[in-house]
Chains A and B, each alone.
Chain A
Amino acid sequence: MNELSLILTPEYFAVVLLPALIAGIAVSLCSSLLGVSLVLKRCSMIGDGLSHVGYGTLCIAVAMGWAPIQVTIPVVIAAAYILLRLSERGKSHGDTAIAMFSTSALAIGILVSSKANLTTDVSHYMFGSILAMTKSDVILSVVLSICVVLVYLLFYDKIFAVTFDENFAQATGLNVRFYNLLIAVLTAVTVVLGMMMMGALLISSLMIFPAVTAMRICRSFKRVVLSSVVISVSCFLLGLMLSLWLDTAVGASVIVVNLFAFAAASAAAAVRKKHMSQASAAEQTAKNPKI
């Protein structure tokens, strides 16, 4: 506790904590929006695959002395397109192909960075370092997050249609390929932004957890999306506070808070289900008192 009061000076708040808060909220928001579609479309592994590719690209960018994020975003968008094509090939082959593609990209990145002796420089992208983000990183995160949210809202109805029933959407003239690509591109941008904050290893769970938690307690798509956003942002804030208090890694703390939220939602859903089945049993008895 003493440590907490020592580091929480106004200067520290303004220089380190505030930018981290802003960027964190923005990225939590994007990842929870896209997580809903990824989970429901059964392609959570695309998020994971993209984080591998992202980390590999970052390693190469740092080794070459390029601007890491600005190089990684277009490469991951291209990878998203390729992964989507691979996953369209049919379930079993798609899975294997995605795993091979993304781990190869990761291996090549690590190979380059180890040759250039840069492993320590890039390791914070593995576990995330939200408190070490530069001002330009924060501005980029916020601007791109706003773009992601706006595009998502603009195409919300179509994203719903493509997520719920791809065949129906295509049969009634919706360009399903375009909207799948749109979801993949938005995911790619979110994954790269999230890597700075959560690290490559944890970003996919930041997308998946809030969506799955919201699905436990909500029964319409709109509510799932809204709750997922609320859960994601609150878990981020709680996780950040927890990490300052206990002096733990931010990314890991946020995910652990998410895990507790998921457990709580599952328990609530189980209780409600029991309650509902009891209520319907009571209703049945009321209708047929003899039975």
Chain B
Amino acid sequence: MALLRCEDITLRYEALTVMEHLSFSVESGDYLCIVGENGSGKSTLMKCLLGLKTADGGKLILGEGLKRSEIGYLPQQSEIQRDFPASVEEVVLSGCLNSRALHPFYTKVEKRRANEQMECLKIETLRKRCYRELSGGQQQRVLLARALCATKKLLVLDEPVTGLDPVVTTELYGILRHIHEEHGITIIMVTHDVECAVRHAKKILHIGKGTHFFGTCTEYAESAVGRKFLDASGHFEGGKDCCRPRHREEAQVNE
């Protein structure tokens, strides 16, 4: 039984059908990148996986005892968050809300969990700092720590490296690899960065207008759609820079 399976999904955005007949499955321990052109329905599909939107056709099945509320989510930053007065600790703790039953305040267990995630992402020294005053990379770590508080199984990321410089991008991919390999968390990432997707992920889901591709990275690189996309991104995005293997220590987050 797969962790998550989509069968013949159709998605509409307002009156427009953005995606039809999409089927794929995510096994426990997978690292899946979802790529595709703008407007191909990547974000709509992700909303559907998270339960923020219902599918307009087909079925989405969660397996292995995974509950909807146990999916960790790293959203794109909203305008509201850019000037929101919240401390790092408050933001990370809010990831623990889904495990809480009815009692109104955070328990010691939840606080410990938040601490562990802050330590894991090396942001424990920032805990009293204001979220809006952090750098882009630090903010992504905070949101990642919050997502990890919410899940032990599956992490869904929405274009996590958009707007980050190459060094911070490389760091973030390193962190994700660590989370995936050491903590055994399954990752689904929506991304524009197709070169890094091929380099870091195990499987690729390419959503195109009319045709979809789902398979391993090697299969993708050899497929017609994959070759076309990779060639284009190599020329226009200069994406190779951020995909170089890490040969430097992670930059200091302490200030």
Contacts and interface: CB of A to CB of B under 8 A. Distances in A.
Interface in B54-98: 67-69, 71-73, 75, 78, 80-81, 84-87, 90-91, 93-95, 97-98
B150 interface: yes
B192 interface: no
A290 interface: no
A170 B84 contact: no
Given A157-B94, A219-B133, A220-B90, A165 B85 contact: no
B146 interface: yes
B69 A164 contact: no
B130 to A, nearest CB: 3
Contact of A164 (B50, B72, B86): B86
Contacts of A157: 93-94, 97, 104-106
B39 interface: no
B73 A220 contact: no
Given A157-B106, A160-B90, A172-B73, A41 B80 contact: yes
Contacts of B238: none
Secondary structure at chain A's binding surface: helix, strand, loop or mixed? Answer: helix
Contacts of A215: 85
A172 B52 contact: no
Interface string A150-171: 0001111110110011011111
B234 interface: no
B84 A219 contact: no
Residues of A in contact with B, size category: 20 to 34
Contacts of B129: 219
A168 B93 CA distance: 13
A218 interface: yes
Which 3 residue pairs are nearest across A and B when measured between Cβ atoms? A173-B69, A219-B130, A220-B87
Interface of A: 40-42, 153-158, 160-161, 164-165, 167-174, 215, 218-224
Given A158-B97, A168-B75, 12 more contacts: A156-B104, A157-B105, A164-B84, A165-B78, A168-B95, A172-B71, A172-B97, A172-B98, A173-B98, A219-B87, A221-B90, A224-B85
